[in-house]
Amino acid sequence: MDTIGDPHATAGRIDPVRWIESRAEIALFLDFDGTLVDVATRPEDVAPPPGLVELLDRLHHALGGALAIVSGRRIADLDRLLAPATFVAAGLHGSEYRTDRTEIVRPVALPIDPEVVTAVSRLERIFPGVRVEPKGATMAVHWREAPGVGEAVAAELVRILDGGSDHLELTGGRMVHEIHPRHVSEGAAVEILSGLVAFRGRRPVMIGDDVSDESGIAAAERAGGVGFRVRGETFGPDVADFASPRQVREWLSLLLSRIGS
């Protein structure tokens, strides 16, 4: 069983448990896949564990609304997985926002050119096991079911993007390559959402498990807060603050008990 605050897992870094303060003056920014829930071979197979939705909803109220989901998923996808609750959110790595849990989702980036989508989708035929996930303003190319082809797929994606629109960039992740607009990032999402009334003046806490979450962690740290990393293909035990999403959920439960419900 994972142990929160294991000194061997947190040596030389901030211990997440010791960091919790009795006051509620923090704002939470939480990645979803690999942070709140375990990574699945196929994104559509992810299932939130029992109690997660209630935990997040209670934290939302305990923090006066200062809780946001910051994810590479569409916000509509998050809503489906976390129904009946909805939350302030940044989806598609900051390509769309919902600044109040009762508001509509607002895009801030245009969909990727259909010609690029078509060219990238052909990689499924070139590399058996690779799965292309078009999401509108972003695309994910998963190679979890085709281990060993990550570099070759990345080279093909660079070739496809070269000579095209320069507003797109390629980033890596946990057995996935992401295409997204250059002007969006999870760091920008944390900064934008931190300006909302419910979040303003609070110390931001960003928790993530992948390369795309690093800009959000950096933004939280620049604002006087803290970032925590979850172990996986991206962050090993020498870097990770949490051993698993289950440990993150245990920490969130402890946080709720400290600040009240």
- Residue carrying structure tokens 């991206």: 234
Q: How many residues appear in the chain?
A: 261
Give the whole-angstrom CA distance, residue 54 versus residue 50.
9
> Is 31 noted as a catalytic residue in this protein?
yes
> Which contacts (CB < 8 Å, 24+ apart) does range 3-12 have?
4/242, 4/247, 4/250, 4/251, 4/254, 6/243, 9/237, 9/240, 9/241, 9/243, 10/241
Query: CB of 98 within 8 A of CB of 89?
Result: yes
Query: CB of 34 within 8 A of CB of 232?
Result: yes
Query: CB of 228 within 8 A of CB of 205?
Result: yes
Give the whole-angstrom CA distance, residue 41 versus residue 233.
13
Catalytic residue among 2, 6, 15, 31: 31
Q: Where in the sequence numbering do the catalytic residues fall? A: 31
